[in-house]
Every structure is written in structure tokens, then in C-alpha cells.
Amino acid sequence: MESGHVLLVLGASTIQSERLEQSRRTGPRVVQENRTLHTELEAQSQQIEVLRQQVQLLRDGHMAEPELKEENLRLRRDLEHSRAMLSRYTDELATIMPGMQKVIHKFQCDLSGEVLDIPVEDCVAAEGTSAQMRHRPPPPPEALSERRPRAGSPGAGPGRASGASGASARTATGPAGRLSGCLSRLADENMAVQRRSAGNVGQQQMRVSRRTPSPVQRKASLCSVAEEPPRWRF
């Protein structure tokens, strides 16, 4: 009995030793396989992340496309509206101030880089403005005296002329300065015409009021005639 028990113990130990030997032989191979699997899994995880980012970008671009189209349509409408308003105001300005259309055209050509043979003075002195200047009556002496500076004023003398020439030189530099100079000159001419027309209307009203007496003056004159004694005596 004891010998059988010993044989069983020896057989179990032999099996256990064989298993240990097999595990020793297969251990490094399993570790290497485990490392390889970890490396492949990490590479696949990186590829999955890249693909996920690309899908997200494509999805966002597809979602934002209608909004971009709507914004482009709105911008086109605003641009067309601005062009229509610019054309309308240009026509109205040309109707109110003759010759201004040529000035605006020259200003736009200067901005775009094109060179025209029309000087700014010719643009300002258009047909309507020149005809108005030709048929305009000479200004009264009062207007000339208002324009002429006084002797004691600080604006009189050569300093004022030099300052005006310097200001005109500064205004004339660049297309924007030329356009503003033309606008200011035309505005001054229109203001002068309006002042003269208003002065003429006021003088005519004063003359009419002097010629036609009021009802009170008529009544007073009738009373004075009735109270006068007769000049002829027979």
C-alpha cells in the first residue's frame, strides 16, 4: 500500500514538472504575442480616431452648406440693392447739380486706375452750369461788398490768399480731394444763386408794399382830404 501511494505521488509530481516545463517553453512566445496584439490594437485605435474626425468634418460641412448658401444669397441681394440706390442717387444728383455725373464718372475712373483726358475744371463747368453762369445777371454791389473782406479783418491781406491757396492745394491732392473740391464749389454756387434769388424776391415785395398802401393808410388819406378846406373861392 505504501509503495502504491509513493508511485502516485511520484506520478503527480512528474506531471506537474512536465507542465512547468511546457509553461517555461511557451511563456516568451505568449508574451511576444501579447505585445504584438497590443501594438495592433493601438494602431487600429488611431485609425478609428482619424476616421471619426473626418466623418465629423464631413458631417459639419454638410450641415453648414445651406446656411452658407442662404448667407451668399442675402449678400447678393444687399449688393444689388446698394447698386440700385447708388444709381438712383447719382441720377438725382446729376439732375439737381448739372455736371456732377461727369465728376463722379471721373472720380470712379481715378479710383479704378483709368486715365481720362477730361480735366476736373471741365467736369465742373458742364453745359448746364456754364449756361447758368452765362445767363446769370451781374451781382449787386451789396453782394460784392459782403464778399470783399474788410481792411481791419484778420482774413484780409496776402495771408488770406496764401492760406486759401494752401487749402486749395491740400484739397486738390488725390481724387477724393478733387471730388470734395468740386462738390464744395458747386454747393457754393447754388447757395449764392439761392441768396440772390431770395434777395430779389424780398426787394420786389418791398416795392409792391410801398406802391400799394394799406387800408389804414387809405382811410387816413381820405380823412385828411375831407378835412382840408376848399382852395377855390368864388
Q: What is the pLDDT of residues 102-122, one digit of tens each?
A: 777 777 777 666 544 444 445
Q: C-alpha cell of 40?
A: 495592433
Average pLDDT over residues 150-161: 48
Question: Does any domain span residue 105?
Answer: yes
Average pLDDT over residues 83-111: 76
Helix ranges restricted to H, the chain: 2-96, 100-112, 120-124, 127-134, 141-147, 158-172, 174-211, 215-227
How much is the pLDDT for 186? 73
How much is the pLDDT for 4? 62
Whether 216 shows a pLDDT value over 70: the answer reads: no
* Distance (Å, whole) CA 50 – CA 44: 10
More confident residue, 178 or 121: 178
pLDDT category of residue 92 using cuts at 50, 70 and 90: confident
Q: C-alpha cell of 181?
A: 473740391
Question: Does any domain span residue 97?
Answer: yes
How much is the pLDDT for 97? 74
Please tell me whether residue 108 adopts helix, strand or coil conformation: helix
Do 36 and 28 touch, CB atoms closer than 8 A?
A: no
How much is the pLDDT for 124? 46
Count of the separate structural domains present in the chain: 1
Residue of 173, 193, 184, 170 lying closest to 100 (CA atoms): 184
Tell me the per-residue pLDDT of 21-68, one tens digit each, with 9 for 90 and over: 776 666 677 777 778 888 888 888 888 888 888 888 777 666 567 777
pLDDT category of residue 201 using cuts at 50, 70 and 90: low
Question: Does any domain span residue 55?
Answer: yes
pLDDT category of residue 70 using cuts at 50, 70 and 90: confident
Question: Does any domain span residue 18?
Answer: yes
Question: Does any domain span residue 227?
Answer: no
Question: Does any domain span residue 60?
Answer: yes
Mean pLDDT of the chain: 67
Question: Does any domain span residue 14?
Answer: yes
Report the Cα 88 to chain-centroid distance in Å. Answer: 17
* Distance (Å, whole) CA 114 – CA 15: 103
Lowest mean pLDDT among 58-62, 118-122, 182-186, 227-231: 118-122
Q: C-alpha cell of 70?
A: 442662404
How much is the pLDDT for 76? 92
Lowest mean pLDDT among 11-15, 67-71, 105-109: 105-109
Question: Does any domain span residue 6?
Answer: yes
Whether 220 shows a pLDDT value over 50: the answer reads: yes
More confident residue, 199 or 118: 199
The whole domain housing 19 covers 1-112
